[in-house]
Amino acid sequence: MKDGHRGRFITLEGGEGGGKSTQARRLADWLQTAVGEVVLTREPGGSAGAEQIRGLLVDGDVRRWDPLSEALLHFAARRDHLVTTILPALARGAWVLSDRFADSTMAYQGYGHGVDRAALAELYRICVGALKPDLTLILDLPVEQGLARAAGRAAGEDRYERMDRDFHERLRQGFLEIARSEPERCVVIDAAQDEDAVHAGIVAAVGERLVVSSAS
């Protein structure tokens, strides 16, 4: 049930084509029956200012930004998202469910593009502070399968999808390394399964880690 005066913060992470947006919506629907208010949000985005920055990151040429500039744009969007959406929701006792958060920056810009990971950790300290997700669900599947799924989506917002195969392999390994380094926070979900099986795995992880059961 609801955790006292503060809500819980859950993030969904992973590479392209893992079904994060679909699973985030399904999890939000399930959680509402158990915990009350659920704020479903996303990164980059989740606030008016961050949504404006989103367009700079997900559209255009793959070489539009150098890696550090790209990381700084993500953190600028994240800071606005945090102060405008996430922190107020948690303070009023809502549960926040975000389709991507800072692990994506570490995986994409750190592991994928080679930005110094210690520098990214320092940017996190400056922009986010002590807050960490209560639970991070990493939807993992082979790169070829993920890119094939992503290619079937509607056109647009595909800048990262168009990056080369080696980049996507590095970021997949980055997410798995993040999960290995923080097992108390992260759960890896096999996203190669069908949608219902993935949802069942997510519900089981949330129920076990955060002691939640559906009222329905």
Percentage of the chain surpassing pLDDT 70? Answer: 94
pLDDT band at 3 (very low <50, low <70, confident <90, very high): very low
Q: What is the mean pLDDT of residues 102-112?
A: 97
Kind of pairing, strands 135-140 and 95-99?
unpaired
| Of the listed ranges 6-10, 173-177, 203-207, the one predicted with least confidence | 6-10
Q: What is the mean pLDDT of residues 124-138?
A: 98
210 pLDDT exceeds 60?
A: yes
pLDDT at site 84? 98
pLDDT band at 211 (very low <50, low <70, confident <90, very high): confident
DSSP state, residue 41: E
- What are the domain boundaries of the chain? 9-210
For the beta carbon of residue 189, count every other beta carbon within 10 angstroms: 25
Q: CA dist 206 to 8, 87, 117, 140, Å?
A: 11, 21, 28, 17
pLDDT band at 153 (very low <50, low <70, confident <90, very high): low
pLDDT band at 55 (very low <50, low <70, confident <90, very high): very high
171 pLDDT exceeds 80?
A: yes
Exposure string over 151-171, b if 16+ CB within 10 A, otherwise e = eeeeeeebbbbebeeebbbbb
Domain 9-210 belongs to what architecture?
3-Layer(aba) Sandwich (3.40)
pLDDT at site 45? 97
How far is it between the farthest Cα atoms of the chain? 48
pLDDT at site 155? 62
Q: What is the mean pLDDT of residues 21-50?
A: 95
29 pLDDT exceeds 90?
A: yes
pLDDT band at 213 (very low <50, low <70, confident <90, very high): low
Percentage of the chain surpassing pLDDT 90? Answer: 81
In residues, how long is the chain? 216
DSSP 55-118: HHHHSS-TTSS-HHHHHHHHHHHHHHHIIIIIHHHHHTT-EEEEES-HHHHIIIIIIIT---HH
